[in-house]
């Protein structure tokens, strides 16, 4: 115990800079803490609130301290430092507040949390006052950072120039014959009754201002939950982002729209319980680039949710591989429609820099999407390269106008809703975007401000002191209070917009959309040419509206009416839980076949036999059954999203010309089957994004088989049942969300962050990764990019036909987890980036392969595939059972180089 008569000294000191010379850039911001001597009564009281508040430390991310550190030093009477245990020698106690301004990012949490208001943060002139107007401090210091090899990632950035929405736009006044109205006392300008979606699939909205896609993981649990609660209260859909929805939040699934990005993260179950499904074709701040989640942010809970291995770097590829062409877009929509039904929304996100932006928007609308989200140039992100952030796409008003006109010209505007987002800062900007032609407007960064966001641009580091983008500090946010702040902000914006609408003499949301009642008078030539030189009517060319009756717009109700006799005739042949359907080669089309299977499943059918199949798509998608046997050729996107079903594809030799048991493109994508056995070969993208299950292919595979294969379905997802929440009202759902969060918070408060994450480890280890095994046929070997970007799971190539080299190039390129076992002579130049080849197998490897090979042989040994393959498989089986070790010696194992 320190004696009371000891002298207490308090000091505020700064950390000395580590560098001198040109690379001593200094701190971007200066942190000034006022002492009590400088400002009596308002100076620092050394309470350590700033130490607890600050989490930023880029040079030493594992440090307990950020900008601030509190140190207590003990001295004897002669001024020598002594230990705290030497109580009798202690004469002076000095409390030192150390400040390291080099780590400051101006997040202002220390300023807001200081009880004395003793902290000030301001721009450091030594950092900013350098260079000339053309080559200022930004250019020079960025060059110095690059010269030192510093990371050039950043986040939450608004580009190199100020937003082009901030100035130079004027909204028209009311006309004499359309006088303005009082929106507070008259029914005028009301924005409380709108629908996202213009066909069968619709979501009733009470505000035109939406949140945007931000994933769980990019946001902390609390920030994500606050945004979800706010969206429910505001009567708008909640967009989940690419990270799926946490199990604790699944009761609110009917208010959520899932996003499927190029990474395909998630368990992909219970999808028909959500409000919709959004396909990500572009990301505003990354110009169509895929994202990358650093290993340290991919913690155990995130890995469970995304169905990947924990603590591995996650890479989402740049292209959306499930569609390589405009012609394939309708197939994907068709697949999703089969899964979700007619009343769930299917949307697409498109980035607005491509020279053929108009054509892309039209193609998406023609493909059958219910809404299109335009990602414009001032949009933000949690992590992107500076060169992308500072040089992105076009202005949101211009892009909205362009998309609206293009859809009008094609007669598609009344078939699809438009959401526009990217740099919308306030209610005036939001109203401007609606006038330009959007049905709804998205605000992302604005939603985060009530949670504490000060745009400090450190989202990508996981050090957010406010707990918005740092999961470890998420408990600094109270989701209920934070949600109320978002609600109040959006409703205030909405009132502003209603007032602007009433001032134009407009009564409703529909009056505003596409009205073009504004003028641009700034110096941007593109915007001036479009909105400054001409009158409103010249901006809206007269077009002949074309009636669109393409088959992608047909509902299942229409399909049933057109094929009623055929459907009822087939359903009359149900025998208990079994139904045989003779497809008759081309007599039953894909959607009709899918509808028949859905109706049969509702009548209790669990086992299907489909005969004479030649290229029908959608087989199994959205069908709740136990077993499907197909005789014939399987079409594109069959078996997509299936769960807990056994599927066999067999040759059909009942005709003069036999039909091989092959499968086309994208078959079994995003699936969780018990097992899928194909007694032939498969095309490109087989089992892409597969989460769990067994996949056996007798012969070869095409390009990008097992793309982004995942690491297994957690038990809690496999057993999930959301049916009890179907009839719950809004208040009940909100109460359930908060109750679940309180249980989580209670557990979290009992332990540190690492211990809390450890509680999820058992569930992670219980998962069973998907396994895919290819036999390889005599006709051809495997295609390129086998297991590209795999994030778990096992791929096996048996090479039963004894090809010297059965593989293509770029094997396992970008793989972050999982393994490939390939039998054959694999050259090093065939391997992709980031993987290595091992030329021996462990005992565990051999036990695993032994079981998988035996199952493969037993699956196909009695199937009459073709004479050549049958003989090769028999020979392989004989050799395997006679001398397994010689077979194992032919294998190489391919694994990621780094974890």
DSSP letter string, 403-443? HHHHHHHTT-GGG-EEEEESS--SHHHHHHHHHTT-SEEE-
Rounded Cα gap, residues 256 and 232, in angstroms: 9
pLDDT exceeds 70 at position 26: yes
Asked whether 33 and 44 are in contact (CB, 8 A), the reply is yes
Rounded Cα gap, residues 405 and 436, in angstroms: 10
Place of tokens 């077009």: 543
Asked whether 710 and 307 are in contact (CB, 8 A), the reply is yes
Q: What is the DSSP string of 98-132?
A: EE-GGG-----HHHHH-TT--EEEEE-HHHHS-S-
Backbone angles phi, psi at 608, to 5 degrees: -120, 140
* pLDDT tens digit sequence for 94-124: 999 999 999 999 999 999 999 999 999 999 9
Closest to 530 measured CA to CA, from 413, 522, 165: 522
pLDDT in the model for residue 132 = 86
Phi-psi region of 270 (alpha: psi -120 to 50; beta: other; left: phi over 0): left
Helices (H), 750-891: 753-758, 761-765, 843-860, 867-882, 884-889
**Fold adopted by 575-715+766-896:** Pectate Lyase C-like (2.160.20)
Place of tokens 């086998």: 786
Give the N- to C-terminal CA distance of the chain in Å, as an integer. Answer: 49
Two tokens, residue 341: 């039904």
Mean pLDDT score, 358-373? 93
Domain with CATH 2.160.20.60 in the chain: 575-715+766-896
- Rounded to two decimals, the pTM is 0.93
Distances (CA, A) of 21 to 14, 17, 24, 25, 144: 19, 11, 6, 9, 11
Rounded Cα gap, residues 448 and 497, in angstroms: 21
Mean pLDDT score, 466-471? 94
| Maximum separation of any 2 CA atoms in the chain, in Å | 107
pLDDT in the model for residue 198 = 94
Closest to 174 measured CA to CA, from 515, 425, 531: 515
Domain with CATH 3.20.20.70 in the chain: 199-539
Rounded Cα gap, residues 692 and 767, in angstroms: 9
Asked whether 428 and 495 are in contact (CB, 8 A), the reply is no
* pLDDT tens digit sequence for 344-362: 999 999 887 767 889 999 9
Place of tokens 């319980």: 273
Rounded Cα gap, residues 210 and 523, in angstroms: 30
Residue 508 DSSP label:
B
Pairing of strands 292-293, 276-280: unpaired
Rounded Cα gap, residues 153 and 389, in angstroms: 9
Buried b (16+ CB within 10 A) or exposed e, 723-742: eebeeeeeeebbebbeebbe
pLDDT exceeds 70 at position 253: yes
Place of tokens 């006022």: 34
* pLDDT tens digit sequence for 740-757: 999 999 999 999 999 999
Distances (CA, A) of 815 to 300, 682, 788, 831: 19, 22, 6, 11
pLDDT in the model for residue 683 = 96
pLDDT exceeds 60 at position 2: no
Asked whether 424 and 444 are in contact (CB, 8 A), the reply is no
Residue 660 DSSP label:
P
Q: Which CATH architecture has domain 199-539?
A: Alpha-Beta Barrel (3.20)
Rounded Cα gap, residues 582 and 596, in angstroms: 12
Pairing of strands 276-280, 256-260: parallel
Mean pLDDT (the chain, rounded): 91
* pLDDT tens digit sequence for 625-635: 999 999 999 99
């Amino acid at each position: 115990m320190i004696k009371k008569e000891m002298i207490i000294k308090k000091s505020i000191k700064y950390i000395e800079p580590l560098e001198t010379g040109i690379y001593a850039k200094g701190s971007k911001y200066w942190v000034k803490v006022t002492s009590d001597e400088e400002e009596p009564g308002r100076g620092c009281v050394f309470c350590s609130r700033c130490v607890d508040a600050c989490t930023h430390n880029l040079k030493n991310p594992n440090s307990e301290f950020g900008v601030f550190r509190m140190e207590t030093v003990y001295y004897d009477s002669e001024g020598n430092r002594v230990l705290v245990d030497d109580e009798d020698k202690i004469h002076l106690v000095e409390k030192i507040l150390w400040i390291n301004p080099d780590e400051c990012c101006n997040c202002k949490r220390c300023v807001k949390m200081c009880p004395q208001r003793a902290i000030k943060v301001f721009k450091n002139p030594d950092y900013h006052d350098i260079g000339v107007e053309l080559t200022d401090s930004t250019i020079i210091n960025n060059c110095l950072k690059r010269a030192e090899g510093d990371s050039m990632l950043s986040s939450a950035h608004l580009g190199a120039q100020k937003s082009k929405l901030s100035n130079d736009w004027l909204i028209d006044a009311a006309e004499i014959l359309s006088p303005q109205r009082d929106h507070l006392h008259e029914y005028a300008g009301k924005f409380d009754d709108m629908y996202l979606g213009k066909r069968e699939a619709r979501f009733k909205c009470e505000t035109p201002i939406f949140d945007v896609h931000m994933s769980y993981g990019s946001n902390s649990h609390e920030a994500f939950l606050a945004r979800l609660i706010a969206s429910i209260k505001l009567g708008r859909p909640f967009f989940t982002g690419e990270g799926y929805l946490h199990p604790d939040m699944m009761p609110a699934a009917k208010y959520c729209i899932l996003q499927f990005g190029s990474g395909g993260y998630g368990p992909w179950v219970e999808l028909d319980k959500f409000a919709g499904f959004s396909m990500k074709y572009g990301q505003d701040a990354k110009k169509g680039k895929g994202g990358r989640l650093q290993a340290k942010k991919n913690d155990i809970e995130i890995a469970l949710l995304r169905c990947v291995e924990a603590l591995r770097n996650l890479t989402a590829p740049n292209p959306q591989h499930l569609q390589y062409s405009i012609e394939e877009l309708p197939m994907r929509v068709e697949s999703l429609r089969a899964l979700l039904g007619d009343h769930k929304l299917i949307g697409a996100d498109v980035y607005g820099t491509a020279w053929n932006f108009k054509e892309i928007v039209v193609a998406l609308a023609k493909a059958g999407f219910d809404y299109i989200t335009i990602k414009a140039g001032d949009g933000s992100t949690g992590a992107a390269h500076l060169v992308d952030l500072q040089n992105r796409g076009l202005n949101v008003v211009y892009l909205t106008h362009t998309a609206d006109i293009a859809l009008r010209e094609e007669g598609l505007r009344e078939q699809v809703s438009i959401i526009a987002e990217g740099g919308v800062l306030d209610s005036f900007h939001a109203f401007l975007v609606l006038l330009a032609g959007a049905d709804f407007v998205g605000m992302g960064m604005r939603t985060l401000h009530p949670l504490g966001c000060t745009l400090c641009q450190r989202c990508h580091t996981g050090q957010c002191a406010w707990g918005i983008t740092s999961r470890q500090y998420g408990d600094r946010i109270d989701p209920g209070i934070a949600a109320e702040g978002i609600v109040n902000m959006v409703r205030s914006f909405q009132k502003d917009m209603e007032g602007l609408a009433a001032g134009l003499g407009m009564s409703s949301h529909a009056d505003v959309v596409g009205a073009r009642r504004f003028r641009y008078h700034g110096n941007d030539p593109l915007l001036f040419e479009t909105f400054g030189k001409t009158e409103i009517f010249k901006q809206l060319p007269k077009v002949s509206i074309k009636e669109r009756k393409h088959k992608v717009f047909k509902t299942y109700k229409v399909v049933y009416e057109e094929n009623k006799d055929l459907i009822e005739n087939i359903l009359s042949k149900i025998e208990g839980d079994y139904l045989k359907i003779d497809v008759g080669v081309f007599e039953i089309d894909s959607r009709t076949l899918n509808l028949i299977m859905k109706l049969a499943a509702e009548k209790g059918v669990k086992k299907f036999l489909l005969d004479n199949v030649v290229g029908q798509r959608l087989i199994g998608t959205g069908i709740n059954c136990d077993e499907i046997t197909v005789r014939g050729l399987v079409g594109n996107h069959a078996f997509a999203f299936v769960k807990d079903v056994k599927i066999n594809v067999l040759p059909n030799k009942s005709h003069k010309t036999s039909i091989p048991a092959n499968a086309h493109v994208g078959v079994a994508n995003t699936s969780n089957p018990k097992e899928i056995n194909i007694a032939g070969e498969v095309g490109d993208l087989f089992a892409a994004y597969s989460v769990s299950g067994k996949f056996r292919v007798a012969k070869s595979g095409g390009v990008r088989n097992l793309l982004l294969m995942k690491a297994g379905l957690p038990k809690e997802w496999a057993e999930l049942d959301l049916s009890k929440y179907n009839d719950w009202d809004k208040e009940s759902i909100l109460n359930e969300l908060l109750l679940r969060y309180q249980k989580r918070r209670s557990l979290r408060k009992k332990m540190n962050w690492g211990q809390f994450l450890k509680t999820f480890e058992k569930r992670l280890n219980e998962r069973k990764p998907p396994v895919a095994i290819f036999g390889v046929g005599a006709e051809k070997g495997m295609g390129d990019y086998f297991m590209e970007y795999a994030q778990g799971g096992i791929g096996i190539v048996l090479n039963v036909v004894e090809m010297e080299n059965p593989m293509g190039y770029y094997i396992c390129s970008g793989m972050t987890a999982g393994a490939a076992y390939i039998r054959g002579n694999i050259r090093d130049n065939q391997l992709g980036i980031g993987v290595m080849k091992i030329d021996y197998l462990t005992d565990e490897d051999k036990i695993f392969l032994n079981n998988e090979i035996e199952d493969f042989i037993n699956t196909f040994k009695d199937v009459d595939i073709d004479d050549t393959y049958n003989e090769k498989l028999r020979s392989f089986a004989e050799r395997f059972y006679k001398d397994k070790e010689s077979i194992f010696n032919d294998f190489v194992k391919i694994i990621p180089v780094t974890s």
